[in-house]
A = this chain, B = another copy of it.
Amino acid sequence: MQDIPTYADVEAAAERLQGHAHRTPVMRSRTADALLGAQLFFKAENFQRMGAFKFRGAFNALSRFTPEQRKRGVITFSSGNHAQATALAARILEIPALIVMPEDAPAAKAAATRGYGAEVVTYNRYEANREELTSRLAAERGMTLIPPYDHADIIAGQGTAAKELFEEAGELDYFFVCLGGGGLLSGCALAARALAPNCKIYGVEPEAGDDGRQSLLKGERVKIEVPRTIADGAQTQELGELTFAILQRDVTAVVTATDAQLVEAMRFYAERMKMVVEPTGCLSFAGARHGGIDVRGARVGILISGGNVDLTRFAELVAGSSARLS
């Protein structure tokens, strides 16, 4: 296992991101405050470049490449926001990028990734082993693999979102973060532990895919089947080694949210806060609202991870009558 990153790594990442990542706004809503009887501070990473926090980690990791690594390029596997984040960071830093995607990934995602100038290789997810394919391509081309979450530079980069939140909002009593593979949550936990030692930190994952909760309860990583949930960014089967180690040490607990609760949060964001948030990005608020934690009277941080949702799908989900859950 790599060494666990520290808050000093988050600070170094913040310097590298200066002028490249947006310092996203912290949004407030009196309606949300009234709903939970608390003061809520929403860190809106849906307004980040390419629409999600993932740009932070990818840019941080790629900006640490040696000249030799830069020349040979980066490779990763992802059908989601990490693919676009890696492609965009690579374009900015003039590094060749190769993204391995399942051939049934949404055409728009592959197109967006190619639009940033990355090469896309597809595979049949029922026949090919993604890790093997990626490793083989990495070896053949001498490319550096930057995985979506289980990497110290990725974790440190994602933690800069929480660093900005605490700098702007001050002390918080509770902090809810969306949880998939754990890159965002572990990075944010590093920042929270340093800047607000008494803050209780919760990961929120889909009820249908509660491998994080199971893992913390069991004391070892639990692997599950690909969960059926509208939170496509949290359809991970297993935490990473590094992210699990940080979660075990720094996170208070993991709570879950149902798809219906995610849709409720999406509607709230659109109707009351005028924001487009993707289903996965709704986990944190849904967990704060329904996760069984009594936050009344407290100062609460809510990390919104991203806003990349197909507009037709978004319309279906928020329009109500025609909402179709997967």
Residues of A whose CB lies within 8 Å of any CB of B are 22, 25, 27-28, 30, 46-47, 49, 51, 267, 270-271, 273-277, 307, 311-312, 314-316, 318-321
Determine which of B27, B51, B267 lies in contact with A47 in the assembled complex, contact meaning CB atoms within 8 Å: B27
Chain B nearest CB from A32 CB (Å) reads: 13
Contact B307 A312 (CB under 8 A): no
Determine which of B30, B274, B319 lies in contact with A312 in the assembled complex, contact meaning CB atoms within 8 Å: B319
Cβ contacts under 8 Å, A46 to chain B:
274
Instruction: Write the chain B residue with the least CB distance to A318.
Output: B311
Cβ contacts under 8 Å, A267 to chain B:
311
Instruction: Write the chain B residue with the least CB distance to A266.
Output: B311
Distance, CA A123 to CA B87, complexed state (A): 58
Cβ contacts under 8 Å, A28 to chain B:
22
Q: Given A275-B275, A275-B276, A276-B275: A314 and B270 within 8 A (CB)?
A: yes
Chosen A-B contacts, 11 in total, with CB atoms closer than 8 Å, are A22-B28, A46-B274, A51-B274, A270-B276, A270-B314, A274-B275, A311-B318, A311-B319, A314-B315, A314-B318, A315-B316
Distance, CA A47 to CA B275, complexed state (A): 9
Determine which of B307, B318, B320 lies in contact with A274 in the assembled complex, contact meaning CB atoms within 8 Å: B307
Q: Given A47-B27, A318-B315: A277 and B274 within 8 A (CB)?
A: yes
Cβ contacts under 8 Å, A318 to chain B:
311, 314-315
Chain B nearest CB from A306 CB (Å) reads: 8
Contact B307 A315 (CB under 8 A): no
Cβ contacts under 8 Å, A47 to chain B:
27, 273-274
Cβ contacts under 8 Å, A314 to chain B:
270, 315, 318
| A-B contact sample (18 more), CB < 8 A, given A270-B314, A274-B275, A276-B276 | A22-B28, A25-B25, A27-B47, A30-B49, A46-B274, A47-B273, A51-B274, A267-B311, A274-B276, A275-B276, A311-B319, A311-B320, A312-B319, A312-B320, A315-B316, A315-B318, A315-B319, A316-B319
Distance, CA A47 to CA B274, complexed state (A): 7
Instruction: Write the chain B residue with the least CB distance to A272.
Output: B51
Distance, CA A311 to CA B30, complexed state (A): 20
